Structure 1
Amino acid sequence: MPTPFAAALEERTLRLKTRLCIGLDPRLTAYRDADHLRQHTLEVLELTAPLAACIKPQLAFYEALGVPGLEILEEVCSLARALELPVILDAKRGDIGSTAEAYAAAWLTGRHAGSALTVNPFLGFRTLDPFTAAARAHGGALFVLVKTSNPDQADLQGSGVSEKVAAEVARLGAEEGPGLSSVGAVVGATHPEELAHWRAAMPQATLLLPGLGAQGAQAADLAAAFLPGGVGAVVSASRGIQYADGLNLEASLRAAQQFRDELNAALLA
């Protein structure tokens, strides 16, 4: 079995001194064709890998390309594994019964064993069971949507709903004993004033904080999401790195370096 996801992520965070999660969201409209998309995406991954604690491919952009897109995703995951870079597959899956089991098998076992998956809990907490079981059995992890980064999240996540989800994440984490668990949480970096609250509510959860860069979140505001020692959270930037200046690879590298350095500085402030 591979090293459990949370442990591998923490080890890389401390060894490389990075809390940056690089999102790889390749938009076909930015490229000549799918081959150009594939080449640039893999180049961004390889170039920025030393600056990353993990990567986060958004499955929608690969699925939009059909079978060729899924083949590109396989290459992205294979290269990341070769670079010893943890992979969070951003799919926001969630369903009932055998369908949830099939999603868990698709993205947390086999070729993707040891990776993590974002999961939508809004069909009920029991829908998390197949994902939790698969993650625990294969050294993976899941990141449960608790408080997402989009402005209209309050339509469904207000009125105490996010608090209920956070309590379930905390309960699942406590089942595993001390330390960071295989059940993490998505909390938008666009809610900096709430980060201390969510950190306290889910003490064993690794927090995935999307929204750095293009969505307006600032690294300087995010220190409250981390546990002592600067672990327990990663902050995701996607467009702000992959398309920092069109398809300029050097601009992608500079953007990743800046985000990494700003996150580290925030923890020292």
Structure 2
Amino acid sequence: MFALALQERILQLNSRLCLGLDPRPEKHRSFEDLEVHTLEVLEACADTVACVKPQLAFFEALGLPGMALLERVCAQARALGLPVILDGKRGDIGSTAEAYARAWLGGAHAGSALTVNPYLGFETLLPFVHEARAQGGAVFVLVRTSNPGSGDLQNLEAGPARVAERVAREVARLGLEEGEGPSSVGAVVGATRPDELAHYRALMPQATLLLPGLGAQGADPAALAPAFLPGGVGAVVSASRGIQYADPQLSVRAAQQAAEGFRQALNAALAD
């Protein structure tokens, strides 16, 4: 099961860091250089991070070669023992949702988990949840995202609660279907919202939280402790550009050092 495997890796490596991979062709001389750099960063950081999060948009933008690279990234991550969260924010209705779920939670280019969008209605989450459970994987539902404009919808009042809180309660309800322990239904809550982390942690006590925003988006590792459960589990914090492109000269060693710096900063926050 994804959530338990991730928890074990967090404790084994003493790392709550998620490596985001967003390969950007403008940073490289050729596709071949981009491919080598992406795979080398993954391998160099493997012992420093709890999981890896390829952002599908950057691979899709590269066309068929990008999709082939995604398969190599997933295969290498599996060989290194790294859980894979595909950041695709998929969401649709009926058979289309089922097809998305099959595509990204099973097969050669699939991850162990997938980010999903609940804003077409909660029933559209079910194909993803069912497929994740069948594959021993997970979904991460967008609850309170890190972008500046997220409040346009997520902060709207929906009866006695905000929209984001309604989504959080649905994540919690789906988790209760599995009994006690970490759930296969996790949530995305932005690391750029430190004042809200304790609230969403309380709303979703069984959910693994994926906290994007470390690095280029400016989230402060010292402010993220409220997202975690006792023992320093229950959440991972994602950094992408701040690791993969930490050095303008594309030094892989610099990427590894950046990852180690984030890892230590997160651990220090939990130790305080």
After TM superposition, the score normalised by the length of structure 2 is 0.97
Structure 1 counterpart of 2:203, one-letter code:
A
| Contact 1:113–1:140 (CA under 8 A) maintained in structure 2 | no
1:242 is matched with 244
1:255 aligns with 2:252: no
Structure 2 counterpart of 1:190, one-letter code:
T
Alignment of structure 1 residues 213-232 onto 2, 5 Å: 213-232=215-234
1:66 aligns with 2:63: yes
Inter-partner Cα distance in structure 2 for 1:113 and 1:68? 16
Inter-partner Cα distance in structure 2 for 1:147 and 1:94? 16
Task: State the SS of the aligned residue for 1:91.
Answer: strand
Aligned residues: 266
Inter-partner Cα distance in structure 2 for 1:38 and 1:112? 16
Q: Deviations for 1:163-222, whole angstroms, at most 9, x for unmatched residues?
A: 010010000000000001000000000000000000000000000000001001011000
| Contact 2:83–2:112 (CA under 8 A) maintained in structure 1 | yes
Inter-partner Cα distance in structure 1 for 2:238 and 2:221? 10
Shift of 1:229: 0.4
Q: Deviations for 1:37-70, whole angstroms, at most 9, x for unmatched residues?
A: 1000000000011000000000000000111000
**In structure 2, which of residues 168, 176, 179 is the aligned counterpart of residue 177 of structure 1?**
179
Inter-partner Cα distance in structure 1 for 2:211 and 2:179? 24
1:11 aligns with 2:8: yes
Shift of 1:109: 1.4
After TM superposition, the score normalised by the length of structure 1 is 0.98
1:24 aligns with 2:21: yes
**In structure 1, which of residues 240, 265, 268 is the aligned counterpart of residue 268 of structure 2?**
265
1:190 is matched with 192
Inter-partner Cα distance in structure 1 for 2:111 and 2:84? 8
Shift of 1:114: 6.2
1:106 is matched with 103
1:34 is matched with 31
Shift of 1:110: 2.3
User: What fraction of aligned residue pairs are identical, expressed as a percent?
Assistant: 70
**In structure 1, which of residues 50, 54, 71 is the aligned counterpart of residue 51 of structure 2?**
54
Structure 2 counterpart of 1:120, one-letter code:
N
Task: State the SS of the aligned residue for 1:89.
Answer: strand
RMSD: 0.8
1:202 is matched with 204
Task: State the SS of the aligned residue for 1:51.
Answer: coil
Structure 2 counterpart of 1:62, one-letter code:
F
Structure 1 counterpart of 2:122, one-letter code:
F
Inter-partner Cα distance in structure 1 for 2:33 and 2:111? 29
Task: State the SS of the aligned residue for 1:235.
Answer: strand
| Contact 2:181–2:206 (CA under 8 A) maintained in structure 1 | yes
1:148 aligns with 2:135: no
1:127 is matched with 124
2:87 is matched with 90
Structure 1 counterpart of 2:230, one-letter code:
P
Query: Aligned in 2, Cα 1:113/1:64: closer, same or farther, shift over 3 Å?
Result: closer
Which ranges in structure 2 are unaligned for 5 or more consecutive residues? 157-161
Shift of 1:245: 1.1
Task: State the SS of the aligned residue for 1:52.
Answer: coil
Task: State the SS of the aligned residue for 1:110.
Answer: coil
Inter-partner Cα distance in structure 2 for 1:112 and 1:183? 21
| Contact 1:180–1:204 (CA under 8 A) maintained in structure 2 | yes
